Chain A
């Protein structure tokens, strides 16, 4: 494994609770992901895939082991620095969309740019462009309640990529969608990976969704059970 890896997890473990009640969600994960990769993380519930995702997304810290993002040890960063890392390098798409209610699509997409202190005109233009890219031109002023599930997830994707993140983290992005809409969403995500070189990390338990990825990692019981792309990482 070379130092060029974008993300490197070494012996990452996560334990919830203490003593008798301790639950070992992750029992030593070694993982290295190159820039531009498209990784699907699969596994049954409780296998540690969501915990891994939270650690990768800098939302959570490992109990032990190290997480290097572009060579920076994330586990050593203060919460404020991890927030900045999220703000500038990461984009999130969730299963439940997690849009702000009674807020227009445009305003939802603008939100991360507001925290990045982008000037109004610039962020509005960027948000419009991002919505157009996900095929929601003309829907800018609709609130989430007025949009279908697929459309809501498109808004969420637009919100995640409007900052041109290095990594897009998607936690079961199609979990609440029907098959056809799921395929459309996956085509969208694949497109960002292919055309803009955004690294995609995605949790899913549907094989046909995972099929869009270049590399599939399977978790069982807090460990990596199989990794079909491991060898390909130079």
Chain B
């Protein structure tokens, strides 16, 4: 009986091809929107975590306050150079410890101007950040200690200020002073949150503190851990050292955070995940509208369907057979809609993922969920009008205008 009824349902769909198509169009678009947005969101999340992983698993970031982000928290003092020196003295298993002070500045040479990020640090920064030199050299101890106006520039800054010329030995002006370009960094490309990592100027910490930030504060400290050394051990050492230096009592919480790349990834991917959910929710609204479209068409066609039900009942169909036919019809129809939507979403996701430079990730969960959802819409909006009609007396159903 099931096979028979399935055939009846398929036949009914085929002979009402246009109506069937219009009915499922809303579902197709709704499913496609939801699946595409969630898939792209997942891709973006993956891309963020991939790039953080590319930074290496051997990095720790020490920031003041318990919150991650720009600016320091109220009541959580910044680090000083003495903190860095203490770390260097006590944490011997670290491969490199680099203080970081960042400042947004406009860099100018004779012909061009470019707004960029200046980082004040020491030469271990390049080691800790996995930077390689494309040309020139890093700054020397003497230059560091003296706070000399020398800088190493990123590929983007070189391109914007010097074009095809070699930057080595040239001067660039930052606010009120000039500095000599002594090195060029190898390109790293876009970072996790989309900012350009090559858009950077690196110079000695003291130079930045003295000439740009005007304070002794250090925004964060990067610690690179040697291979084979336990991250947790270093984290513990850093924490106890800092608690001691910052005079935090036994019962008080830390006023700083030591994060490894995994925690950093979690913090950042958490943001994209929320965005993905938000977009998915917006798309779900369109799916709901699609469902209302189905309901509308089903109700409009109910006159014709009611007569059909009357005919089938009169010539000897059981009420149950007619109902089952309509149920299968509704499920098959919205199932086809769901499949078409998923196909459309797959195409759109692959295309858009390429454009947006995020990986395409097939997510079986969201695909299955949207299929089930479309089937449910079919049952609710297609089946219930039919059930009402099938419960009519065949005579009334035949007379239904």
A contacts, CB < 8 Å to B: 54, 57, 59-60, 79-80, 83-84, 86-88, 90, 92, 94, 96, 98-103, 107, 111-112, 114-117, 159
Contacts and interface: CB of A to CB of B under 8 A. Distances in A.
Contact of A115 (B16, B310, B315, B398): B315
Contacts of A57: 314
Contacts of A60: 393, 395
Contact of A59 (B16, B308, B394): B394
Given A94-B398, A101-B304, A114-B4, A83 B318 contact: yes
Given A59-B395, A98-B398, A86 B307 contact: no
B315 A103 contact: no
B8 interface: yes
B310 to A, nearest CB: 7
A227 to B, nearest CB: 25
B315 A80 contact: no
A146 B366 CA distance: 46
A160 to B, nearest CB: 8
B85 to A, nearest CB: 87
B307 A83 contact: no
B395 A54 contact: yes
B316 A115 contact: yes
A163 B7 CA distance: 20
B211 interface: no
A115 B393 contact: no
A79 B311 CA distance: 16
B29 to A, nearest CB: 26
B315 A87 contact: yes
B321 A115 contact: yes
Given A100-B308, A101-B304, A59 B316 contact: no
Given A87-B317, A112-B316, A115-B316, 12 more contacts: A54-B395, A57-B314, A59-B393, A59-B395, A79-B319, A83-B317, A88-B316, A98-B311, A101-B308, A111-B312, A114-B7, A117-B1
B318 A80 contact: yes
Contact of B15 (A87, A99, A102): A102
B4 A112 contact: no
Contacts of B15: 102-103
Contacts of B4: 114, 117
Given A60-B395, A101-B304, A114-B4, A92 B314 contact: yes
A59 B393 CA distance: 8
Interface string B10-38: 01000110000000000000000000000
Contacts of B398: 94, 96, 98
Nearest to A116: B316
B-side interface mostly: helix
A85 B312 CA distance: 14
B304 A111 contact: no
B395 A112 contact: no
The 10 closest A-B pairs by CB, nearest first: A87-B316, A102-B15, A112-B315, A86-B316, A115-B316, A115-B317, A98-B311, A59-B395, A59-B394, A92-B314
Contact of A107 (B11, B304, B317): B11
A153 to B, nearest CB: 14
Contacts of B311: 98-100, 111
Contact of B314 (A86, A96, A114): A86
B315 A111 contact: yes
B108 to A, nearest CB: 75
B322 to A, nearest CB: 10
Nearest to B19: A102
A114 B398 CA distance: 20
A98 B307 contact: yes
28 contacts: A59-B314, A59-B394, A60-B393, A79-B319, A80-B318, A83-B319, A86-B314, A87-B316, A87-B317, A90-B316, A92-B314, A92-B315, A98-B398, A100-B308, A100-B311, A102-B16, A107-B11, A111-B312, A112-B316, A114-B4, A114-B7, A115-B312, A115-B316, A115-B321, A116-B316, A117-B1, A117-B4, A159-B315
A220 B228 CA distance: 106
A107 B15 CA distance: 11
A159 B315 CA distance: 9
Nearest to A111: B315
